[in-house]
A and B are shown apart, each in its own frame.
Chain A
């Protein structure tokens, strides 16, 4: 599978390393060369320096033949724009976008993007930890009993 990841921050880099390790063809796009240090020496995929909301840069990353596109830069609007270019102009089949703002996330989900919101996920995770005593982020960790009962 050919995957393009835009944004080589913590999430982008970790995902890139995992998928590369599983044998997928990964291309990572970031504006800062130093960001690629997060990928480590073993990374075997492509690294493209450039602006991810520029068609020419996405073409260099191979967007025309990509099966999956993930936008995880630190800007919601950048992610939303890059994702729409991939989905609507280059017709990439799976396009997954991170949006921190829950309202904007729901708007673009309605418009047909596959989105996820770390803000909502994080809040729900912490709520469940309190209510149910289960840390879904680390299922192996168990606490004795729920700290807060759902009322």
Chain B
């Protein structure tokens, strides 16, 4: 961070596991952080753990309370409670009433990612979806999704190519994935191979594909079919 500029001011609403560890992480990186927690006992515990953190006891969805947190100068508000509806309302109030430039919400129900985006939250993050992707990877299923999910709705997916795929033996130039999916890397025998138009797909290759989150299934199907 450059010396003269003030550190970004971040307000985190919800002092559960996610909120607590996030606050800790951001403080270590010199952000100015205020953590909002409803439960006085929990707040006291967090204060004990983090020492200097600025923690406020109150309801993150009460307008009058939010006004006391200095929210109008916050660069970002992050809602990390376990309830989707609370996180949505916190972000909407921050955006509409206090003109906070960026709002990030933890989303528990993966269905709600699109809903949050439609209702004005800048970056809905579905922990459930990320976790499912990682667990799926550990299970070693053929189609592994969600290696990285970006706010833009695109993601990098790691797809293990079935041995029977019609793509095996083809040049990359011959392959066109549906809906603009792009093969950005080939993992061959555990090593990355930078894809060239004349690279030939081999059995057992894993493909790292850049795609819209909503099109991952279609891309996976196309690869399986070949």
Contacts and interface: CB of A to CB of B under 8 A. Distances in A.
A34 interface: no
B109 interface: yes
B64 interface: yes
Instruction: Give the dominant DSSP class at A's interface.
Output: helix
Contacts of A55: 111-112, 115
B84 interface: yes
B111 A77 contact: no
B111 A104 contact: no
Query: Which range contains the number of B residues in contact with the other chain?
Result: 10 to 19
Given A103-B64, A107-B93, A80 B85 contact: yes
Interface string B79-118: 0000111101100010011000000000001011001001
B61 interface: yes
A82 B97 CA distance: 20
Nearest to A110: B96
A107 B96 contact: yes
B89 A77 contact: yes
B63 interface: yes
A51 interface: yes
Interface of A: 51, 53-56, 75-78, 80-82, 84-85, 88-89, 101, 103-104, 107, 111
10 contacts: A53-B85, A54-B109, A77-B61, A80-B88, A84-B88, A103-B62, A104-B61, A104-B89, A107-B93, A111-B96
Interface of B: 61-64, 83-86, 88-89, 93, 96-97, 109, 111-112, 115, 118-119
